[in-house]
Structures are given as C-alpha cells and as structure tokens.
Amino acid sequence: MGGDNAPEQVLQGATQAANEMGIDIAIVGLPGAVQPLLDKHPKLVLVPCTQVIGMDEHPAQAVRSKPDSSMSVCARLCKEGKADGWISAGNSGAIMATALFVQGRIRGVERPALGSVIPTRDGFAYFLDVGANVDSKPEYLVQFAAMGAVYAREMMGRPEPRVGLLSNGEEDGKGDELVREAGRRLKGTMRGFVGNVEPKDLYASKADVVVADGFVGNVAIKMAEATAEFLFRNLRDEIPRTARGKLGGLLIRDGVRQLRARIDWREFGGAPLLGIDGVAVIAHGRSDARAIKNAIRVTREAVDNQLVGKIRAEVGR
C-alpha cells in the first residue's frame, strides 16, 4: 500500500521477482484495492489488512493507533515465522517504528540504522545512518560502524571492510564533538577503522563503510541527490541552446543514461534496517517495478546471508 506507485508497480515488481528468483511472495494490502489487480499476478498471494498508514502520518502514533496496518501485518508475518522478511515503500519513519514495535531490536543494539549504497570511483560504498536517528550518541556511531562492517562483509563481498567516519577533515582532531568521541572509541578497538573521511574520500573509495549520525547522513545524501539532479537538469537545459549542443546532446544521450543508471537508487532498490531482530527493508517512496524487484532481491540476500544473525553475533549481547 505504500509509496507513490502502489499497488500497481509493487505487484509488477513482485511478480518479476517471484519469476526470476523462484520465491514466494505475499502482498499485504486492502483487499478492495489489491484483489482486482491480482488476476494478472497469479504467483502472488494476498494477505488482507484493514488499515493503511499514510505518508504524512506521525510514525509512532500511526503504528500504535493502527494495529492492523499493512506494515504491522507484514512485520507480524515475519515475527511469527511465516515470512522471512518484509518490504515497504511507504512512510519510512512508520516502517522503522513498525519494525521496532513488532519485530524489536536485537538485544544489545542501542539504535537501528538505515544504510544506503553509494556509487564511488571503484564501485560502491555503504553509508549509514542516512536517517533512522537524529542526535546520536558516540556509542550509537560505534555500533553503526560495527553493523555497517557486517553489511559490507555479508552483502557486498568485502571480507575486511575499511570503516570511516564522515567528517569535515581527515585529521584526527576534525569533526564535531560526536565524531571526535566516536573516533577516539573506534581507534584501536575496531580493526579496519580508517579514521575520518571527507565527502571526496567517500567517492574516492577510501572506505567501504562510512558512518554518520542520521541527521548529518540524511542531509549529506540528500545534498548528493539534489546536486546530481541540479547538474543533470542544467545540462539538459543549457546544452541544447545551440544547434551544435542539440546534436551533441543527442549523441551523448546513451552515455548520460548509463551514468544515470549507475548512480540510480532504483538499482539498489531497498535498504534493510540494521539492528532489527528480523529483516525489514525500506524501499524508496518513488519505487517503480524495477526498484521493488531490486528491493526484494536485497531482502532475499539479507535472508540468505543471515544478516540478522551475523549482526547479533557481532553487536548483540
């Protein structure tokens, strides 16, 4: 029920995933909205719910007041062992609140975190927290570093991930109070800790995992997205102003499209919440079928790679 393109695109993405990956997928939603569409999607099974959380609702309040929301039903299916993981493109605060409320935290994890895969010069880096928390304490950042390292190892094939703290300078003394204190704690205790990384270092692949408070991480990732959007829009508007530019623009269209695809969040599809005692994946609100399919792939990989068990072993107690 969540996101800009539900249920249509969600169903399409789910059917594609079911076909390609050979997995069973349940669609949780209002029967009136979903049932009529399911004729075209014979592989999908409807699990009904009676409530839906809107994009603008206050997360915690909505989760408490709507125990039969599609999100809560999803999370309960996982909690009860009937499903291995769930995905939503809806209100991301509510997804987190639902996961926390129904599935709970891994014992010993202070705060769950949300990561994002970022394109870099040599491939990808994993950046967290991009918005699950604000006002983090140093101990949260230390745990984000550990959970991020597990993610890089299990989900991205980096056996010895290098982990850095996003900062305003590389030197040890740089950073705000939070970053400086987290750095002091990570130094010497975490194998693979590489210290502070600046944004340019992130793109230069100087770390596999980059850690920040969720306010800073969210602003940083939104700054990157908005800057890319701004530049592509300007290129599109300014280049065709001359006849030369118009022709050139046509000729480079494929190259630009490839670049945009390479940095497109739809390729990555979704991000598992780290630290939840179960698999809960947040997909982008604008997800189309391709993004949903990719979110399902990420969910499947989290399950297959036992991401939750590995985080429990590393960070839990």
Sole binder of a second copy in the list 241, 286, 304, 313 (CB under 8 A): 241
24 vs 2: CA distance, rounded Å: 20
Residue 247, C-beta contacts closer than 8 angstroms, at least 6 positions apart: none
Among 64, 172, 191, 230, binds a second copy (CB under 8 A): 230
**DSSP letter for each residue of 50-69:** SB---TTS-HHHHHHH-TTB
Candidate residues 21, 33, 134, 313; the one interacting with a second copy per rule CB under 8 A: 134
Find the binder of a second copy among 90, 131, 138, 148 (CB under 8 A): 131
Please report how close the Cβ of residue 50 comes to a second copy at its closest, in angstroms: 28
Task: Assess 50 for contact with a second copy (CB under 8 A).
Answer: no
**Whether 233 contacts 226, CB under 8 Å:** no
Q: Give, in degrees to the nearest 5, the angle at Cα 45 between 39 and 51.
A: 100
CB of 193 to a second copy, least distance (A): 19
- x/- string (CB under 8 A) for a second copy, residues 183-222? ---------------xxx-xx--------xxxxx-xxx-x
Q: Which of 167, 287, 294, 299 binds a second copy (CB under 8 A)?
A: 167
When binding is defined by CB under 8 A, the residue of 19, 50, 65, 234 that contacts a second copy is: 234
Phi, psi of 240 (to 5 degrees): -75, 10
| Identified binder of a second copy from the candidate list 262, 286, 309, 313, rule CB under 8 A | 262
Complex with a second copy: residue 163 or 216, whichever CB lies closer: 216
Total site size for a second copy, rule CB under 8 A? 59
Q: Which two tokens stand for residue 215?
A: 């306010």
Do 242 and 158 contact (CB within 8 A), yes or no?
Answer: no
Q: How far is residue 136's CA from residue 5's CA, in Å, rounded to a whole number?
A: 33
- Report the nearest approach of a second copy to the CB of residue 115 (Å): 16
Three-state secondary structure call for residue 314: helix
Residue-wise burial string across 91-120, b where 16 or more C-beta atoms lie within 10 A, e elsewhere: bbbbbbbbbbbbbebbeebbbbbbbbbbbb
Of the residues 108, 231, 267, 304, which one makes contact with a second copy according to CB under 8 A = 231
d(C-alpha 45, C-alpha 31), whole Å: 11
CB closer to a second copy out of 38 and 197:
197
Smallest gap from residue 125 Cβ to a second copy (A): 12
Q: What is the spatial distance between Cα 2 and Cα 262, in angstroms, rounded to a whole number?
A: 25
- Which of 125, 315 has the CB closer to a second copy? 125
The residue from 21, 33, 45, 226 that contacts a second copy (CB under 8 A) is 226
**Neighbouring-strand partners of residue 118:** 125
Residue 306 binds a second copy (CB under 8 A): no
**In the complex, minimum distance from the CB of residue 186 to a second copy, in angstroms, rounded to a whole number:** 18
Residue 6 neighbours by CB distance under 10 Å: 22
Residues near a second copy (CB under 8 A) are 119, 121, 131, 134-135, 166-168, 175-177, 179, 198-200, 202-203, 212-216, 218-220, 222-235, 238-239, 241-242, 244-245, 247-256, 258-259, 262-263
